[in-house]
Amino acid sequence: MCALFATAARAEERTGGRGALNFLAEIDAEDIAADTLTRRAVRPDAVRLMTAHRSKGLEWSLVVVAGVQEGLWPDLRRRGSLLEADRIGRDGLAEPLTPGALLAEERRLFYVAATRARDRLVVTAVKAPADDGDQPSRFLTELGVEPRDVTARPRRPLSVAALVAELRATTVDPQASPALKEAAAHRLARLAALADDDGRPLVPAAHPYRWWGMDDPTASKVPLRDRDQPVVLSGSALDQLANTCALQWFLGREVKADAPATTAQGFGNVVHVLADEVASGHSPADLAVLMERLDSVWNALAFDAPWKSEQEKGNARVALERFLRWHVMDRSGRTAVASEHDFDVTLEAGDYEVRIRGSMDRVEADGDGRAYVVDFKTGKQAPTSGEVARHPQLAVYQLAVREGAVDDAFDGQRPAPGGAELVQLRQGAARRDGGDALPKVQAQEALEGEWVGELLAGAAGKVLDERFTPSAGQHCTHCAFRASCTARPEGRQIIE
């Protein structure tokens, strides 16, 4: 149909508008196509891909008739369209072909395709194990030879991409001989040199400039940190760099590629704000008042479903109840002196100058005048007692106290660090510690030794040397960078 319209367009260009009937009469009178432009020149050494109809009158040494499946060949469905244009004849509408006539036409077409080969004919079909799957055409039994079943998988797909991949693999295969490697390289070069009439490469994947991993990794011209300035770290950054994953810290904090804030983070932020209002005296230690404040902002949190919002709101209520009970209970004579206390101190850590800054959820004074730091947690996981003893974030808070971070809360005096603790508001305490009505409290003793300084020095060295090696662990479960992490199967490079 497309060829007919193309011929009509060229006829109109040559002779002008003569009418459709005159054009059809001229075409009908032709024994040989007079319009030589209707067929494009074909390279003599090229593979021709065409339908069986287009192959009429042509011959080749080798012919492959592919996909001879029952239901496709013969295709006994009625031809035509909504307007039944196939029934238009010289003397009006013709009767539609019967199934027998359709089968005979399909057989003649298969005969045309099969007789195009001078020397060798290959006919392929798929035979599914199940009876209702693809089955070979009935025409295969009419070829006069027994079909041969091929059940093994091919060594590689018969495609240009697979050929390039095999040749590339051969050039670097330690088991391949030098002669075979050289032959593979020559064939790759031949493929890379192929181009069309406009000079565009036909197989660009064969050229080394398109191959991943051929170039050395690039290095930034601008260092991540100025070595002449203190390395800025926070307690959470130290925890990630020292105990969790340096790559996760780099991608999340430095590259800013972290995912948007989740509802879990919003939950924690709301609870922290309400705890600060109680500690600072802006709100009374009254659950009804806090729930009213919670209701005023809760709808700003985006949850996946209404039931999830209600569930988390109930969890927030329980967390606030635990906080209030903890807030009013006697805590070994400690009294609150600061809430959401920002700090920024610079100190020496090994060979590095480190600037630590952050915010302490709550600072309390114990009976001996020492500073005790409280960090509220709203996560679902809690560290072990052994991990708390060397918890980097708590240790950084105590180190900041030692360096004068809370002097203003103690009337300008420099208090000694008296310890720190994690208050897990989502998790109830053990029965011996008051039961589920109270939060789980995990305390760290007063800071002793130089281990936290060594952690800071190690973290500062990683940042300055830009050594962000991934570390696998439980933190990988919810990490947003698994697809970019070489410690994970899905993040490894394809050239490894």
Which residues are CB-neighbours of 110 under 8 A, at least 6 positions away?
52, 65, 68, 73, 74, 137, 139
Checking if the pLDDT of 496 tops 60, the result is no
Contacts of 294-302 with CB under 8 Å at 24 or more apart are 294/270, 294/320, 297/270, 298/270, 300/266, 301/263, 301/266, 301/267, 301/270, 302/263
Checking if the pLDDT of 353 tops 60, the result is yes
Report the first-to-last Cα separation within the chain, whole angstroms: 52
Query: By mean pLDDT, which of 273-282, 342-351, 471-480 is the weakest?
Result: 471-480
Regarding predicted confidence, which is higher, 182 or 494? 182
Residue 282 token pair: 């802006």
Cis ω for the linkage preceding 439 (within 30 of 0) = no
Instruction: Write phi, then psi, for 156 (nearest 5 degrees).
Output: -160, 155
Checking if the pLDDT of 495 tops 70, the result is no
Name the maximum alpha-carbon separation found in the chain. Answer: 116
User: How high does pLDDT run on average in the chain?
Assistant: 88
- Residue 373 bridge partners (DSSP): 363, 420
The C-alpha atoms of residue 448 and residue 471 are separated, in whole angstroms, by 28
**What does the DSSP assignment read for 347-406?**
EEETTEEEEEEEEEEEEEE-TTS-EEEEEEE--S----HHHHHT-HHHHHHHHHHHTTTT
* Res 206: pLDDT: 93
Query: By mean pLDDT, which of 30-44, 434-448, 460-474 is the weakest?
Result: 30-44
When pLDDT is cut at 50, 70 and 90, the band that residue 131 belongs to is confident
Checking if the pLDDT of 75 tops 70, the result is yes
Cβ–Cβ under 8 Å, residues 225 and 464: yes
Residue extents of the structural domains in the chain = 1-38, 42-152, 160-210, 263-458
pTM of the model: 0.61
When pLDDT is cut at 50, 70 and 90, the band that residue 317 belongs to is very high
Which residues are CB-neighbours of 156 under 8 A, at least 6 positions away?
162, 163, 165, 166
When pLDDT is cut at 50, 70 and 90, the band that residue 492 belongs to is confident
Domain 263-458, CATH class in plain words: alpha beta
**What does the DSSP assignment read for 175-191?**
TS-HHHHHHHHHHHHHH
Which helix (H) or strand (E) element contains residue 99? helix 99-114
Q: What is the pLDDT of residues 364-419, one digit of tens each?
A: 999 999 999 999 999 888 999 899 999 999 999 999 999 999 999 999 999 999 99
pLDDT over 90, % of the chain: 56
Work out the average pLDDT over 236-255: 90
Work out the average pLDDT over 251-269: 82
* Res 121: pLDDT: 95
* Res 16: pLDDT: 66
Regarding predicted confidence, which is higher, 495 or 430? 430
Assigned CATH for 42-152: 3.30.160.800
* Res 167: pLDDT: 94
Q: What is the pLDDT of residues 133-169, one digit of tens each?
A: 889 999 998 988 988 888 877 777 788 999 999 999 9
Checking if the pLDDT of 119 tops 60, the result is yes
* Res 370: pLDDT: 96
Which helix (H) or strand (E) element contains residue 65? strand 60-65
Which helix (H) or strand (E) element contains residue 423? strand 417-428
Q: What is the pLDDT of residues 172-205, one digit of tens each?
A: 899 999 999 999 999 999 999 999 988 999 999 9
pLDDT over 70, % of the chain: 93
The C-alpha atoms of residue 3 and residue 10 are separated, in whole angstroms, by 11
Checking if the pLDDT of 321 tops 90, the result is yes
Checking if the pLDDT of 79 tops 90, the result is no
Work out the average pLDDT over 54-61: 92
